Amino acid sequence: MTSPFVRRRRLATELRTLRERQGMTADRLAKLIHQSRMKISRLENAHGRPDLAEVMKILDLLDVSGDKWQEVVRIARDAAERGWWDSYGDAMGARQRLYADIESGAKTIREYHQTAMPGVLQTPEFTWALVELTQAEGAIDYVPERMAEARLQRQRTILRPGGPEYEIILDEIVIRRLGVAPDVLAAQLHHLAATAHTAPNITVLVLPVDARLPGALLPKSPFFLYTFPDVEDPPMAVVDTVTTDLVHTDPGEVSWYTQRYDHLRHACLSPEDSATLLTEAADALLSRRDLSHAQP
């Protein structure tokens, strides 16, 4: 399906551009359709699911007709669609809902992870280990069981036949420092290597801790890059910060993150060497665990 989130942002741009071309203020448009100024602001800032009847009324007031009317109505229909993630509400976590929505219509996904394991490729045991770590820090804003179910659904979406091309850059620090049980982390690393080997659309690249990156600054946060089948849906960069996710569609901003990704990618191990490192790290974890258990 087409991502409703992506189409809401495109609809917002279309409506704002059409209104401004008519020289009409948002206040004036709100009065003409007997709605609040806030309603127009929400539409033009992609906040919430649009009402198709209201969009058509706006188009008529702005003298939009013909092919352009049909195009914007089609975008509005896509923007109003519901996905499987909507049945979970915020129980799966608002941030995970965002990623599930964007992933649903993506053509390519590229991710840089410097502190966490990619959610889409986590084993259930690893996910639950992270839940325990999060609960130890305080209250959580999701329902663990529903969040875990949704994460598995995201995996099925990515791995489905015809799913997006999905490439991950994983900083080696994640492999070495995560505070989960050794057997859980080892199983997770084996799972990453095996999935990259068996799934034709999945590539996992490890950025070694001793990699040199001359000529560029290190990114300050994990980030995600998306492209979409419709060339009119602009590429997107989403930056994962401590408290929120920042969505960028401005070409200059997306280009900045794309360049950083390419720079990191050149410093990564090959897919084959990355799989070897993941497997060796997993085996080493298990060996150290067995040795500690064997000691009197």
3-state SS, residue 245: strand
| Cα–Cα distance, 98 to 163 (Å, whole number) | 18
For residue 61, what are the CA distances in angstroms to 34, 37, 73?
12, 16, 14
The CATH fold of domain 87-294: Endonuclease; Chain A (3.30.870)
Distance CA 78, CA 8 (A): 8
> Helices in the chain by DSSP H: which ranges?
4-21, 26-32, 37-44, 52-61, 66-80, 94-104, 124-137, 144-159, 172-177, 182-198, 251-267, 271-294
Boundaries of every domain in the chain = 4-80, 87-294
Q: How many residues does the chain have?
A: 296
Q: Give the closest residue to 6 by CA, choosing from 228, 168, 281.
A: 228
Q: CA-to-CA distance for 170 and 187, rounded, in angstroms?
A: 16
d(CA 98, CA 40): 22
50: left (phi over 0), alpha (psi -120 to 50) or beta: beta
Q: Look up the pTM and report it.
A: 0.92
CATH code assigned to 4-80: 1.10.260.40
Pairing of the two strands 165-171 and 108-113:
parallel
Whole-number percent of the chain with pLDDT over 70: 97
User: Beta-strand (E) ranges in 89-240?
Assistant: 108-113, 165-171, 202-207, 223-227, 236-240
Token pair belonging to 201: 């659309």
Number of other CB atoms surrounding residue 67 within 10 Å: 8
Per-residue pLDDT at 1 exceeds 90: no
Closest by CA position to 245, among listed 34, 77, 100, 106: 100
Q: What is the tens place of the pLDDT at every residue in 109-150?
A: 999 999 899 999 999 999 999 999 988 888 888 999 999 999
Q: What is the pLDDT of residues 229-265, one digit of tens each?
A: 999 999 999 999 988 999 999 999 999 999 999 999 9
In the predicted model, what is the mean pLDDT of the chain?
93
